[in-house]
Structure formats: structure tokens, C-alpha cells
Amino acid sequence: MLSIQAATLADAPELLQFELENRGFFERWLAGRGEDFYRLAVVEHMLKKAEIDWLAGRSYQYLIRLDGQIMGRINLIDVKRGSLNQACVGFRIGERFVRRGIASEALEFALFEAFTVHHLWRIEALARPDNTASLKALQKNGFHPFGRATRCIFLNGQWHDLIHFERHADGYTPEITPT
């Protein structure tokens, strides 16, 4: 059974293992975190900061689990209140779990949290044009492209484009009951 829950300090050892197992896969799509990240003390520090940021309303980090095992992460970050009332969503699914609809389901959950729990108005996302799985998950969840940044991220020896997506709260109807 798929569940999505707030990341906590108690998750640090398992989260570190998940990140280590998927490091090469993630670094094909995202900037590397550097050697220092892959130590338990650093992951614990990151999770402590995530808990503080959650309480302050700056970001909300979640773990995606299947039968208790971490299979991915999804985060609402860079929360801006006031006249913007928005956040950015980012997600990563472990290599063994891709192409099973998990990102789409996690995005459904993130939208539920964003619009009904955290009362945000707009969610942004970024995806590389060649990351078809992410593009499909975003579009399935009502995200619409609103721009393209050309040659803006340097990964694995070459420049890549990013497509900017957005999703607004108006017209949102929850399709899930979060677990």
C-alpha cells in the first residue's frame, strides 16, 4: 500500500540508504548533492532543518512509501505567502519504482496538501523536456507549461533546458483520501 508522510529525523538512516542506492540514477536528471551529503549526520541535519521549515511554513517534505519502504520523495519548497501564496513541487522516485504511476499518485497527494491543508494558491514545477515520466505525471495532475528556460542547467557535461509548469487551486477537486 502506498503512503506519503512527512519526513522526520527518525527516517534518516533509511533515507540515507535510499539516496545512496539511487545516487547515480538521480544524478542523471538532477544536480549532484556532493560527497558530504551522503553521511548520516548530514542527512539528520537536513531532516532537522526540514522539520523547522515545516513548522515555519517555508517548506513541506514528504516520503513516499510502499509497504513501509521508501520509494521516493516529494516536497513543497520555496513557499511564498502574501500576494503570491505559492510553492514549488519537486519529486524523485527511486530507480526500481519508476514507470508505475507513483509520481502521479504522489503529485495528487502533494496537490491535496498544498491546496486544502497548506492553503496555497499556485504550485510550480520544473522538468527537463527529455524526462517524459515527469512530464506525464505533471500533465496528468493538471499542470500546464508556461515557459521554457533554454540551456539553463549544466549536468553531466552538457546544458539542458527546463520547462516551467504551474497548477492553480481554482477548479481543484480532491481525487484522493490521503494516507
Q: Is the pLDDT of residue 178 over 70?
A: no
For the CA atoms of 14, 18, 23, 26, what is the dihedral angle to 10 degrees? Answer: -130
| pLDDT in the model for residue 177 | 60
Q: What is the mean pLDDT of residues 12-25?
A: 96
pTM over 0.85: yes
Q: Is the pLDDT of residue 44 over 80?
A: yes
| pLDDT in the model for residue 20 | 96
| pLDDT in the model for residue 145 | 98
Instruction: Look up the domain containing 37 and give its range.
Output: 2-168
Q: Is the pLDDT of residue 63 over 80?
A: yes
Q: Is residue 85 part of a domain?
A: yes
Q: Is residue 177 part of a domain?
A: no
CATH number for the domain including 94? 3.40.630.30
Alpha helices in 30-75 (DSSP H): 40-56
Q: Is residue 33 part of a domain?
A: yes
Q: Is the pLDDT of residue 179 over 60?
A: no
Of 1 and 140, more confident? 140
Q: Is residue 32 part of a domain?
A: yes
Phi, psi of 146 (to 5 degrees): -130, 5
Identify the band that residue 34 occupies on the pLDDT scale cut at 50, 70 and 90.
confident
Q: Is residue 134 part of a domain?
A: yes
Identify the band that residue 150 occupies on the pLDDT scale cut at 50, 70 and 90.
very high
Distance from C-alpha of 134 to C-alpha of 54, rounded to nearest angstrom: 25
Q: Is residue 24 part of a domain?
A: yes
Q: How many domains does the chain have?
A: 1
Q: What is the mean pLDDT of residues 69-82?
A: 97
Q: Is residue 133 part of a domain?
A: yes
Q: Is residue 175 part of a domain?
A: no
